[in-house]
Amino acid sequence: MGGKEIRLQELNACLVPRFDGKFLVLRRRGSSIWEFPGGGVDWGEDPYAAAIRECREEIGLAPRNLKLIGITSATYEKDKKEKHSVYIVYLGDLDSDKYSLGLEHEEGRWVSLTELQFMHLALNAQDIPQMI
């Protein structure tokens, strides 16, 4: 590639799970960073559907009453590539506070909005407390 930098841009969907006035955050495996269920929107997939799919994959629950609350964006380096990740963020209600973590995360925590504002959130999640 002759020294050219590799730059990637990706579209993601994210869901902020809510139950009984609290919000579920997930800690990525091997990290101290907290985030919400979410991930890449597949080619041709509706972001709304992607948010539901990612929530099912990462916590084993399907949200309801989804509401678009905003868009976040972060640039960072990963695997010697520059990345620009755009997240479409939804808020959704869960019918239970019982969840099962997928392979990407090793801890989940139900927190209040106040607690959320003081957590070490991933770059793409740092603006979300102000959106809720």
The mean pLDDT value for 86-112 works out to 96
Give the pLDDT of residue 80: 86
**Distances in whole angstroms, Cα of residue 61 to Cα of each of 3, 18, 55:** 45, 12, 6
Q: Would you kindly state where each structural domain of the chain is located, as residue ranges?
A: 7-131
Task: Quote the Cα angle for 121-68-109, to 5°.
Answer: 35
Give the pLDDT of residue 1: 46
- The answer to whether the beta carbons of residues 132 and 91 sit under 8 Å apart is yes
pTM: 0.91
Between 120 and 78, residue with greater pLDDT: 120
Thinking of the domain 7-131, which architecture would CATH place it in?
Alpha-Beta Complex (3.90)
pLDDT tens readout for residues 35-88: 999 999 999 999 999 999 999 999 999 999 999 999 999 998 888 889 999 999
Name the residue type at position 17: P
